[in-house]
Structure 1
């Protein structure tokens, strides 16, 4: 094909050639081979050759010198290659930025059902109010999930103090709590024997109905305490709800239940609590290192815990 035989056909007066022609040209100009360009673009060699001819015809100029088993760019081809390469790179960068900005912002957290329902969820509106674009996914479970495998940003772990990993939120203290109408029957720990025990049923402690009471019972020297009757629950929040309804006495985990004590729905007639030597810790996953919203969420948890200690 000689230059004088190439006639402009259509793409005149500033009209841009179709993008697929420019992509084929960029690949052929970079590889200096229609065959290699075709393999890269998943086209046939003849399709790429036709697209280049169509582009040359639309521009009215040759872009390649076609030699025996070799290609080279003409002067016009070199000018177009620089412009097309720069333009496609800018398009790729802009597309990546647009996709990144359109990606949903999310924080995934795992924690115990008790912490989620009694401490986290009542406060969560303060985080979502200051971060309205962020979706928060809460996995409330007693299972210890692998953060990386489960694609979770952070965990609030409830563990013994000497096994804590990450930033400490607060240490737990425990004390019997009940509704105000039951408080008159409780003057000493021995009075518990006349009331209903509200407790959690753990699958691995089915024969020990006071497992969640053990830290307090140990401190008080009441390991053999027996109460009038027992109501067992699979979720701590349900046992707390039963206590608020006046159905018995629950072991209160503070500060999880501090708001219920503060507003008078639950009272501690037997005095202050005992340290359980357990606490809540914030553990961050590796993926949270690239999630600014997860880092903000972890800081928000620490700020909320500090504010709760001051009240």
Structure 2
């Protein structure tokens, strides 16, 4: 971490001048004088102790260091702009922030959201997906719905259902010989070692094959006919209904627990109660 940072205005002036190839055009874009842009860039060059532009009369061209800094500066300013725009979400009076995994969002929650929106059009839902379990004490999240949760302080924790896992593939693969099918491998409970440890039958799975760290991508690959996979009954619900997945056996084994964490500061809010009630009904839990 740098102990001292160059002024943000100097970086903005540099980015505009570098992108437009002109101090004059940068000044017009930022509503500044050309001398102000020149001063910003001189101060930035002084801070970095190296030139960023070659100057020849009124024309300027980036040095190698300038090209390098331009890429970094544009990325930084873009991320800052996105982050600031995202803060507008917190000002919405009917905002409800729901955290979940990308797999649950894509394969279960989004396909059911039309029903929620029809019932509760007043709720302005912000679906915030992360691979890592959130820290509800430090992040602005009203509800977390995931398969990797445990109790956290200042939150109501509830196990919603125990998932079941089973081997499945695209229906077209069922006609193929077992040794001709590619095996798709996942992580955690989606690993075939879990299936075998729980007494799952041999369905032709092999140690070789494609590997996926995201259970959502594993499910996508199986639904596209890339091979056989151990899938979540909950997440595979829509793919099976669309005829994209078929079980290789009727046997299932224990899967992860799907739970929620509800921030106690939000628990009595009507928006939170509406979502929790709808979610429990949609999942078939009381």
Structures share a fold, TM > 0.5?
Answer: yes
- Residue pair 1:198, 1:232 contacting (<8 A) in 2 also: yes
| C-alpha distance in 1 between matches for 2:262 and 2:231 | 28
SS where residue 166 of structure 1 aligns?
A: strand
Match of 1:251 among 213, 230, 234: 230
1:181 maps to 172
2:185 maps to 199
| C-alpha distance in 1 between matches for 2:205 and 2:249 | 17
SS where residue 300 of structure 1 aligns?
A: helix
1:281 maps to 259
Cα offset, 1:271, TM superposition: 2.0
TM-aligned CA distance change 1:245 to 1:260, over 3 Å: same
2:104 matches 1:118 = no
- Residue pair 1:196, 1:249 contacting (<8 A) in 2 also: yes
TM-score, normalised by the number of residues in structure 1: 0.54
**214-223 or 143-152: which moved more?**
214-223
TM-score, normalised by the number of residues in structure 2: 0.59
Structure 2: gaps of 5 or more residues: 1-90
- Residue pair 1:197, 1:228 contacting (<8 A) in 2 also: yes
Number of residue pairs aligned between Structure 1 and Structure 2: 192
Cα offset, 1:270, TM superposition: 2.0
Cα offset, 1:301, TM superposition: 0.5
- Residue pair 2:151, 2:261 contacting (<8 A) in 1 also: no
SS where residue 255 of structure 1 aligns?
A: coil
2:19 maps to none
SS where residue 289 of structure 1 aligns?
A: coil
Cα offset, 1:121, TM superposition: 0.9
| C-alpha distance in 2 between matches for 1:149 and 1:220 | 41
- Residue pair 1:113, 1:142 contacting (<8 A) in 2 also: yes
2:144 matches 1:155 = yes
1:107 maps to 96
2:135 matches 1:146 = yes
| C-alpha distance in 2 between matches for 1:173 and 1:144 | 21
Cα offset, 1:103, TM superposition: 5.0
Cα offset, 1:265, TM superposition: 1.3
Query: Which entry has the higher C-alpha Rg, 1 or 2?
Result: 1
2:57 maps to none
**140-149 or 118-127: which moved more?**
140-149
1:65-118: CA deviations, max 9, x gaps? xxxxxxxxxxxxxxxxxxxxxxxxxxxxxxxxxxxxx95201111112211111
| C-alpha distance in 2 between matches for 1:281 and 1:201 | 19
Match of 1:218 among 172, 197, 200: 197
Runs of 4+ residues deviating >3 angstroms: 159-163
